[in-house]
Amino acid sequence: MKTSNKALGLTVAGILAAGLSVSANAVPDQPTEWEKCAGIAKAGANDCGALDGSHGCAGQAKEDNLAHEWVYVPAGTCDKITGGEVKAVKPAKS
């Protein structure tokens, strides 16, 4: 009985280790540069305030793909998305 429990434990451990090594290789590195991409945000999934000033918080987009709602995307990808338009990132207030 103890031998079968040990074998089962080793089998499960092996499966978990294999799964972790595969998933670690499948995830790309996080981009170091981002751009503000307007026109692609889903309703309730925008990043921060609207470009037209209609609200100042994330998650308040009322409809999908509004021109004044935006999300951050890895630099160089916004122009590849239908309806996406790169907007300037305003510098932080000092």
What is the C-alpha to C-alpha distance for residues 70 and 81, in angstroms, rounded to an integer?
A: 13
pLDDT at 9: 64
Sketch the domain layout of the chain as residue ranges. 33-91
Supply the pTM of this predicted model.
0.63
| Residue type, position 88, single letter | A
pLDDT at 5: 61
pLDDT at 31: 81
pLDDT at 32: 86
Q: How many helices (H) and strands (E) does the chain have?
A: 1, 3
What is the token pair recorded at 45?
């999934």
From first to last of its 94 residues, the chain has per-residue pLDDT tens of 455 666 656 565 666 665 555 445 566 677 889 999 999 999 999 999 999 999 999 999 999 999 999 999 999 999 999 999 999 866 555 5
